[in-house]
Amino acid sequence: MITAQIIINGLVQGVSFRYYTKKTALSLGLTGFVKNLKDGSVEIVVRGNKDNINKLINWCKKGSEQAKVENVKIKEINLIEKFNLFEIRY
């Protein structure tokens, strides 16, 4: 199990990106959260097996139907917080 932080830039707010991220993460058995950032980007913190996190990352590169992803930054992080589910944070 690993934990990763993913930052997605582009037209990713107001296009159901967080909703579809949650749906995709849950289908992959991942836990964590997704939230909008003040600079217009979206942050995902996700925990799970590396293969499924990579599948989520690949989805993020395209995003929801109306999204226009410009850049995806990924880094593995050490996080004390444990997640029981995947949620949208506000």
Catalytic residues: 18, 36
Cβ(60)–Cβ(10) under 8 Å? no
Task: State the DSSP H helix or E strand holding residue 70, giving kind and residue range, or none if neither.
Answer: strand 68-76
Please name the residues in contact with 82: beta carbons below 8 A apart, sequence gap of 6 or more: 47
Cα 29 from Cα 70, distance rounded (Å): 26
Q: Checking DSSP bridges between strand 42-48 and strand 86-89, what pairing results, if any?
A: unpaired
